[in-house]
Chains A and B, each alone.
Chain A
Amino acid sequence: MAQPNRAKKGSLREKVVHMYDALLDEDDLDRYPHFWDELFVLKPKPGYLASKLLTIDDARLVQKTVAVHRVAGQAVRRLDTQTNSELAVFNSLLTLFMLLEDLTRRKLGNNLEKFLFDSSNQEAFLKDLLESLRQILDHCSNSSVLRLTLRFLLLLVAAKERIEQNLFVSGMMDRSLFEAFMKVLADPPRRKIVGYEIVTLLGVLPHYPTLEPESNPYLQLSVMEPSIELMGIAGVMGESFQSSTREFFQQVLAVQKDNGWMTWITKTVTRTPRTTLNVHLQDAMLLSLCTGLKIGRNFVHAFTHAQSEILVAGPPPTPTVEALDNVSVTSEPAVVTPKEAAVEEPSNLFVEFLQYTSIVLQLRDEKSVEHARMSLLILGTITEDHYTTQFMHDFSINYRVQFYRAASRYHPCQILQSSKPEPLACAVLNLISEFITSHMMLNFPHDLYFRCLLVVYRLMDYQKRTRFRLPYQWRTLWSALLSLLKFLQANEGSLIDQIPNFFLFCTQVVNILNIFLIGGDAILSQVGSYDDLCYEIVRNSTIVNNAFTMGLRFSTVQSASIQASSKKFLTAMTNLRAVVAHFAPKVDAFSLEFGKTTLEREEILRVIQKHYDTLNLKLVDMNECFEKNANGRDKEFMSSFLVNVLKEIRTSCFSTSETFLFDPMDISKLSS
């Protein structure tokens, strides 16, 4: 053994510390009998090793390469669970984790592997390492070993900035780790421990480009059946979203509590900094969800499977006494007060996802915008699918979705919740209406708007085709669209440069209103709804007229493309203008007749009802403007998102090594 250097610190140093020193500093370890055997059963001091490694700068590391290779090789040799004790496995894994963490931290570029193992026996090294890890996944019943293994795998995957350069990932492609992952996902106690990590891996790994696409084992996700595994994945995602949402909502409720009348005054007077709301962003989960949806044929099933207590061993929700109301149209969402929030609602991944999205959509920082884009991309994929769209419109599947409403001039931040469970399409529409009204800003996120409108269009299209009458308070959407039109018209000057195809976008907005005007007989669920629609348009007649003049103005402009698209916009506007032109004089005449300057809503509705017959509407083709909207930038976006996710994983892995402690407890005992 190395001589104890007491003089240095004056305190007794543990044996393991000496061994760490020897490990890196001394060339000849053979003179210590059983050095390695001892090293891996001693209680590790990750902190010391990490700081020790930190003292070595990159240049010196090159000299130490042999020593590192030796440690890594010995550690890998001890990963075999059959011949080694769980403790030894854990310690060697931890050693490897620390080495890799240190190497990843350094800006070594692409030759990171070179430092970890000898490039001459790279094949054998990778094979041994991954095979052992697979064995652990399959057979190990120790929770701390399992957790560390998954963290280590994550670190391996995130070791490089770009996944395609990662040698470890290419190694993972060949082993049947996928099956091992699935086994873990199917087993609730183990899923509880490492489910999140596995789902993250499943989100990342399919993106590795292989020479032959079929050889990527993670593409098996695409044919995954609606089974325990898939429900397990859904469960993990749902729980992650739920925890983020719940955490955030608690903050909101805390803010709400503060927002009493008096506190508001004191706050405005004293100008105390606003409490900021933080949400734990679930990058990896969103990526996994999107990946799953994009490649998985049956992945949509994950959405529709409600969280069952049998699988997600949660506490049973407490029964609540609900006042019965017989309104056939869903009422406006009500604000959730702190008291109500305690009630556990039944939910599924879809609900959790929507709630999470409602938060992400309202956050304005750059990272959240990325998130919002991802969420809307997912929402778009969902609405594209017939099965999920049908699921959203199922009368028997009702949920009460809570969603977040950011503070605005008119109201503080709120959590809104419908008064009774309603089909999920209602929640989606609520979410989008809220987004439309809340994001009219000069830095116009037109891309997000495009996606939102597409989602609405698809829902409408489904309802139109199947003659499904969603009991939704459409007025929310109509007024949101009309005010969006107003915003567009008012800020045309700056927006026309921002938005690639300004008039196409305007046309889309108008066309959604057109769907109601022309096809309302197949969509609306209430007798008076059509009157409401006309009322809403007549009420905003100035918006309609101004928008029309804007279109006229651009139709004579030089640029041919703008000219053409603005003409299309004018065609789309025909019906709105017809409604205004038809009813506005009648309403005026009515007010003249009765000598009233301001008319009641009911009176105007009566006028509208009387004069339908002479109003003629034009059939407009709406598919065109939405089909052209295909977005080719998804791919770029996905890969940049992936890079971000890898970065996230990397940072989350750093400095966690000290948190790993060996616990000899078996998983089966944990669950019981």
Chain B
Amino acid sequence: MAFISVFDVIGPNMIGPSSSHTAGACAIAYLAQKMKSGSLKRVEFTLYGSFAKTGHGHGTDRALLGGIMGFDTDDPRIRDSFQIAKEQGIEFSFTSDEKETEIYPNTVDIRMVSDNGREMNVRGESLGGGKIRIVRINHVEVDFTGEYNAVIIIQQDRPGVAAHITRCLGERHVNIAFMRIFRESKGEKAYTIVESDEKLPADITEQLMENPHVQDVMIIQN
């Protein structure tokens, strides 16, 4: 069982009113924006279940937009995130999908388009008490909470890539807490998510990219 800190109980420090609908929403978007490359030009949110039904009254929309601009859950700028996004020239839209019922109640899909034209799709779930997880990156089902430092590697599903990754991390004395590989289908695109206790060295990206089957590397530090 993961360590429950006193600050998980007396905390998080957050903008109200709801740990799941406000703080959780902000945390999902905050984590999602760490996966984008370049600076954000446009973002589209699709809200499901209870997020779609009661999100507006909980400020879920403002919290998502705040999180995508890198605001933490206790940042008072969340209240004015619509205005701030406009000032920063970020286009945004919200769509409610109340028809989709075969989905976790507090789910959001986030589509980010960067100024370099690259697109990133992330699906997140708010689990209550401010806890969240990312369940989909682009078209691949994943499971990732952001509680640890993590490196996400996008790769071709080929022999030896996982060995290359663990060798790189081992050489840099990074202790792997969890490592999982998710793939679209055999031989296609795959995602490796490695979570570690230590901070990841900033230049680990270049080392990981040395393998020709590694297409992209995202580092997510706590």
Instruction: Note whether A and B form a binding pair.
Output: no
B residues near A, CB below 8 A?
none
A residues near B, CB below 8 A?
none
